[in-house]
Structure formats: structure tokens, C-alpha cells
Amino acid sequence: MFRSRAKEEKAPVADQAAVNLSKQPRDPQAPKGRPTPKRSEARSQRRSVATTPTNRKEAAKRQREERRAQMERQRQALASGDERYLPPRDKGPVRRFARDFIDSRFNIAEFFLPMAVVILVLSMVRVGALQSIALLLWLVVIVLIVLDSIVSGFRLKKRLNERFPDVSKRGAVAYALMRSLQMRRLRLPKPQVKRGERP
């Protein structure tokens, strides 16, 4: 009779809220409406909340550290051949096969740098006959590298079409030929097959 109107107005709103909440699905064993998280989940959530950067300087520092860690993982992957952390240009079974194909054979192109040094030394000697030999060697080396690259490219393309008929092989031959120009010990990712071994 002497109840205040404010209490009467609040009561139906509270009843409606209780009704609305009861419609939501609840775990019967969890009276608070959700299951208690496991300790490991709670810790990881607390850790993620605690580790979020508070200002721009901290965010930049964290980004640098993450980039450094990613680069370290990538460097180790290039040394070990771990597919998970390789750069995008080296990932995938097609690229791996192309690498193995080149690493399993002798390529004239991989000896280009040592031969170029020898030819350069010969061309610097002030003897006409040696300079003529150096020029001739340049021509021979370039012709041999071009022929070897053409043969390797055709063979690799054929093997890729046999091995991966339904997969995109775009850029794989060019990737392999660029690898063949590097000396074997300087190649990254490191060779995973021995010479003469079929990939």
C-alpha cells in the first residue's frame, strides 16, 4: 500500500531480465552460466592480456623482436630445409623437387664464378696470346652454360609435368636455373640430396 512506485517499476524490469537470461543455453553444472576455464586456459588469457603493448614504443619494440625471431627461424629453415619456415619463394613440393633436381647433378653454371676469376686474371696479363685465350674461354664458357641451362630446363620441365601434373609449376624452371648458377656450398636452402642421387 505504501510501497514506492520506483520499486514497483524496477520489479517487472528485473523479472524480464531474469526471463531473458533463462532463455540462453546454460551448462547445468555451472550455476554462473558458463563452464569454469581450465587453469592453463586462464593463465594463457591472463598472459595475453598482460603482454598487450600499452603504447606505440612498446608495440614497435615487440614488432621488431617478432621480426627478428621470424628471420632467425627462416635462417635456420634455410640451413636445415624445414618447409614450415622457408620464404614463400622456396615453399612447396614443386620448388623442393626443382632444388633437388639441380642439386643432384653437375651443372656447368655453378663453376662460372671460379672460371670467371681465372679468365679475368688471364685477360689482365699483358701477353697477346693469353688475352686471346681468355676471350676464347669466355665465349666457350658462356656457350656451355647456355646449352647446359637449356638441357636442364627441358629435362626439369618434363620431370615436373610427370611428377606434378595438376599442380601449378609457374616459375619453377627459372627458380631452378637461378639456383644452378650458385656454387653448391653457397646454395640456400642447403642441398638435401647428394650428387647423382635421383630426387
User: pLDDT tens string for the chain (199 positions)?
Assistant: 555 555 544 445 444 444 444 455 555 555 566 677 778 777 777 665 545 667 888 888 889 999 998 888 888 888 877 778 888 889 899 999 999 999 999 999 999 989 999 888 888 888 888 889 989 999 999 999 999 999 999 999 999 999 999 888 999 999 999 999 999 999 989 998 998 888 8
Supply the pLDDT for residue 29: 59
Q: Which residue has the cell 635456420?
A: 76
SS (H, E, C) the chain: CCCCHHHHHHHHHHHHHHHHHHHCCCCCCCCCCCCCCCHHHHHHHHHHHHHCCCCHHHHHHHHHHHHHHHHHHHHHHHHHCCHHHCCHHHCCHHHHHHHHHHHCCCCHHHHHHHHHHHHHHHHHCCCHHHHHHHHHHHHHHHHHHHHHHHHHHHHHHHHHHHHCCCCCCCCHHHHHHHHHCCCHHHCCCCCCCCCCCCC
The answer to whether 180 and 152 have CB atoms below 8 angstroms apart is: yes
Task: Give this prediction's pTM.
Answer: 0.65
- Sign, CA dihedral 100-191-181-168, equals positive
Q: What is the pLDDT of residue 17?
A: 45
